[in-house]
Chains A and B, each alone.
Chain A
Amino acid sequence: DQQVKQNSPSLSVQEGRISILNCDYTNSMFDYFLWYKKYPAEGPTFLISISSIKDKNEDGRFTVFLNKSAKHLSLHIVPSQPGDSAVYFCAASTGANSKLTFGKGITLSVRP
């Protein structure tokens, strides 16, 4: 049973526009969420996180929104840049110090 779901396998966006990457989870015990970015032939790198006590966290061009009642979070990238083209993984845990459960990832392509 997949506990973290990224239902869209890919997203294509024009440079300068907004990218919205969605993630759903089923385990109501999850209270800490992270987004990772992965380029080909490299390991994933941490992008941004949010705990369940917040509904928004912002870091530069990246903002994560959390809707606990819907068990849904989204990553907004504004404005999108070609260098943002990568695979993005959503991950969740029961607390910041617990093991992470990852989604399948979504491939973002930003067109120049």
Chain B
Amino acid sequence: NAGVTQTPKFQVLKTGQSMTLQCAQDMNHEYMSWYRQDPGMGLRLIHYSVGAGITDQGEVPNGYNVSRSTTEDFPLRLLSAAPSQTSVYFCASRPWEGGTGELFFGEGSRLTVL
């Protein structure tokens, strides 16, 4: 059981470049989300989705786009990377209804923007 899989694990970008962080889950979870973790800031919600075709903004959505075409995948796109987007990114999922509310996290993707 793979759970939540994120790729790539590490990425270095130059300012202005674009890239997509991939997230896939094999637990048939309706809810998927992206967080960023920065020193002294904890985990902050970027975007989330409660099902295919439905996305919404979290606390810090600026500079990021998401889409949800399937239940399994929830990619995070940086259209024009900025140094302020240097961070560790975590994708997380859970059932939308029922369960304990527990989020299942991926291992993270460390992004550096020069």
Contact = CB atoms under 8 A, between A and B. Distances in A.
Interface of A: 6, 9, 32, 34, 36, 41-46, 49, 89, 91, 93, 95-105
Interface in B60-114: 90, 92, 96-108
Contact of B101 (A42, A44, A97, A102): A97
B102 A102 contact: no
Nearest to A100: B103
Contacts of B58: 99
Given A43-B4, A97-B97, A104 B41 contact: yes
11 contacts: A32-B101, A41-B108, A42-B108, A43-B92, A91-B43, A93-B101, A96-B100, A97-B31, A97-B96, A98-B101, A102-B35
Contacts of A93: 101
A57 B4 CA distance: 27
Among all A-B residue pairs, the 6 with the closest Cβ atoms:
A43-B105, A96-B101, A104-B42, A102-B43, A46-B102, A102-B42
Interface centre among B4, B98, B103 (most CB of A within 10 A): B103
A101 B45 contact: yes
A12 to B, nearest CB: 18
Nearest to A32: B101
B103 A46 contact: yes
A100 B45 CA distance: 8
Given A96-B100, A99-B33, 4 more contacts: A44-B43, A46-B100, A46-B104, A99-B48
Interface centre among B90, B98, B100 (most CB of A within 10 A): B100
